[in-house]
């Protein structure tokens, strides 16, 4: 047996997001978001599932927090439903929305759990999408206003902030590939959205500093690691484009104040160019305090000029896959963490990592041993990176509970806790008890 001891101040946690767990979609003044609209558009979400009820965490948060307490986590990453706070995206504040998050955050703090807040986790108020979405300064300025309201309201209660979750999904999955809300399929739109969210990020960080808010702020890109299928230069370049598409396209502007030129050139030959105005990159590259990284899988890429805008296809190498079809290769997390060192040795939180394993309850138990294997492999890679001197400060398993997995609806389960969507009964899985032990010990035990 090998013991991997983690630093004494390492923060163990779990993560969720508002639209995926809260439900109460039209309750207490909440306005519609683009995901309410998208989910109710026929054909967009498996089975026509939507977030009207979800896990009903809006009403059951005390039960959920009791489970977090039982799990023993030190921090809990959640997101705020913007359209609960500002139902029209801007304008009048909905006090009932603020009151909900105060009740929720107070309950976390009462239980010794640090709230780790993501301001934007994909649920843009529909009124702002109607006004141009992230391509429009209207939305950028509305986000700054929304974030200022949250900063002022929760200053001293919430000390760990993230502006945006997974910019790649917001820009490209949702506006080039059309798989997520609002479902556009246009490269120029995707680049405009990416630039808009980066401007909103920079302006919000600037506001955070101007207000003298206590705590730390950052952003949480999702990364996919990729390696070339062959030794050819074309395959090598394809895997580099894949990595940069998810990470460098957003992190170079944040940390270096410029887009990666090889990607700017690639997109230009594909017919799209970011319209960078004077002063934009200075705003975007406001210094941040920490970086959230979401990691799930890695890819073996082969150059194929006919395989989409980025010109790579992902080759199935026969690796074990989770139930959503993502190859399991924890080495990619280690490599991704080293890749990030070019931006400096910034504090990093693994703000999402987890496995889609769709086991159900049998005799009161969920024997999700495949999830335990996935988590163990990936946590071991984090220990390896820390041993190399990389400043990983925490790990938040995705997800605390099964929830609405976007276009996959409720069929894909990532939770440490099983949710019966009819009864809403929560059942801790075997992985919950395994993770409870890792947290209690602050070490990982691996058996040969």
Ligand X SMILES: N=NNCCOCCOc1ccc(-c2cn(C[C@@H]3NC[C@@H](O)[C@H]3O)nn2)cc1
The contact set with ligand X (CB under 6 A) reads: 17, 20, 166, 173, 177, 179, 222, 224, 294, 296, 352, 398, 405-406
Closer residue to ligand X (CB): 296 or 410: 296
Q: How far is the CB of 308 from ligand X (least distance, A)?
A: 7
End-to-end alpha carbon distance in the chain: 6
Closer residue to ligand X (CB): 123 or 368: 123
Q: CB burial class (10 A; 0-12, 13-18, 19+) of residue 406?
A: buried
Q: Tally the C-alpha atoms within 13 A of residue 408's C-alpha that lie toward its C-beta.
A: 15
Catalytic option among 166, 224, 240, 329: 166
The answer to whether 150 touches 117, Cβ cutoff 8 Å, is yes
Residue 282 annotated in active site: no
Closer residue to ligand X (CB): 118 or 147: 118
**179: CB partners within 8 A, 6+ apart:** 173, 407
Closer residue to ligand X (CB): 139 or 403: 403
Residue closest to ligand X (Cβ): 17
Strands (E), 110-240: 114-120, 160-165, 216-220, 222-228
Q: How far is the CB of 209 from ligand X (least distance, A)?
A: 27
The answer to whether 191 touches 199, Cβ cutoff 8 Å, is no
Q: How far is the CB of 354 from ligand X (least distance, A)?
A: 8
How many whole angstroms separate alpha carbon 348 and alpha carbon 332? 16
Q: How far is the CB of 410 from ligand X (least distance, A)?
A: 12
Strands (E), 62-151: 75-79, 114-120
Strands (E), 166-276: 216-220, 222-228
Q: How far is the CB of 405 from ligand X (least distance, A)?
A: 5
Catalytic option among 240, 329, 352, 405: 352
Number of neighbours of residue 214 by Cβ within 10 angstroms? 12
Distance of CA 406 to the CA centre of its chain: 12
Number of neighbours of residue 110 by Cβ within 10 angstroms? 10
Number of neighbours of residue 271 by Cβ within 10 angstroms? 9
The answer to whether 404 touches 359, Cβ cutoff 8 Å, is no
Closer residue to ligand X (CB): 144 or 181: 181
Q: What single-letter DSSP state applies at residue 171? A: I
Q: How far is the CB of 186 from ligand X (least distance, A)?
A: 15
Q: What is the token pair recorded at 323?
A: 């139930």
Closer residue to ligand X (CB): 177 or 264: 177
Residue 62 annotated in active site: no
Q: How far is the CB of 112 from ligand X (least distance, A)?
A: 25
Q: Is the peptide bond before 107 cis (omega within 30 degrees of 0)?
A: no
Closer residue to ligand X (CB): 7 or 308: 308
Q: Which residues are catalytic?
A: 166, 352
């Amino acid at each position: 047996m090998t013991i991997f001891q983690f630093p004494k101040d390492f923060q163990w946690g779990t993560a969720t997001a508002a639209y995926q767990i809260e439900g109460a979609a039209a309750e207490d003044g909440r306005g519609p978001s683009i995901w309410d609209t998208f989910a109710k558009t026929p054909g967009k979400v498996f089975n026509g599932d939507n977030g009207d009820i979800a896990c009903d965490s809006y009403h059951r948060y005390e039960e959920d927090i009791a489970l977090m307490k039982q799990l023993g986590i030190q921090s809990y990453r959640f997101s705020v439903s913007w359209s609960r706070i500002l139902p029209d995206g801007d304008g009048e504040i909905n006090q009932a929305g603020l009151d909900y998050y105060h009740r929720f955050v107070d309950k976390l703090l009462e239980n010794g759990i640090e709230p780790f807040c993501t301001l934007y986790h994909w649920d843009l108020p529909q009124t702002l999408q109607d006004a141009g979405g992230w391509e429009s300064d209207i939305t950028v300025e509305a986000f700054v206003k929304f974030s200022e309201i949250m900063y002022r309201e929760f200053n001293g209660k919430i000390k760990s902030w993230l502006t945006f979750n997974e910019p790649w999904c917001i820009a490209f999955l949702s506006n080039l590939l059309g798989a997520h809300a609002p479902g556009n399929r246009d490269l120029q739109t995707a680049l405009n959205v990416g630039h808009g969210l980066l401007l909103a990020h920079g302006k919000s960080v600037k506001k955070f500093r101007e207000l003298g808010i206590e705590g730390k702020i950052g952003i949480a890109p999702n990364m996919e690691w990729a390696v070339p299928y062959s030794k050819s230069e074309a395959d090598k370049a394809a895997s580099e484009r894949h990595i940069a598409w998810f990470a460098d396209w957003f992190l170079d502007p944040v940390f270096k104040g410029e887009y990666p030129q090889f990607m700017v050139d690639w997109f230009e030959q594909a017919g799209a160019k970011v319209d960078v105005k004077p002063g934009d990159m200075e705003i975007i590259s406001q210094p941040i305090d920490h970086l959230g990284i979401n990691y799930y899988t890695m890819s073996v890429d082969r150059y194929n000029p006919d395989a989409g805008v980025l010109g790579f296809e992902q080759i199935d190498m026969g690796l074990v896959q989770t139930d959503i079809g993502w190859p399991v290769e924890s080495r990619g997390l280690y490599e991704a963490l080293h890749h990030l060192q070019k931006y400096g040795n910034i504090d990093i939180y693994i703000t999402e990592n987890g496995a889609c394993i769709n086991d159900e309850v049998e005799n009161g138990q969920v024997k999700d041993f495949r999830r335990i294997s996935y988590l163990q492999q990936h946590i071991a890679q984090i220990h390896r990176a820390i041993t190399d001197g990389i400043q990983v400060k925490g790990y938040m398993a995705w997800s605390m509970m099964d929830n609405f997995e976007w276009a996959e609806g409720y069929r894909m389960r990532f939770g440490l806790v099983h949710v019966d969507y009819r009864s809403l009964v929560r059942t801790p899985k075997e992985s919950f008890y395994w993770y409870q032990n890792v947290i209690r010990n602050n070490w990982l035990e691996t058996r040969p």
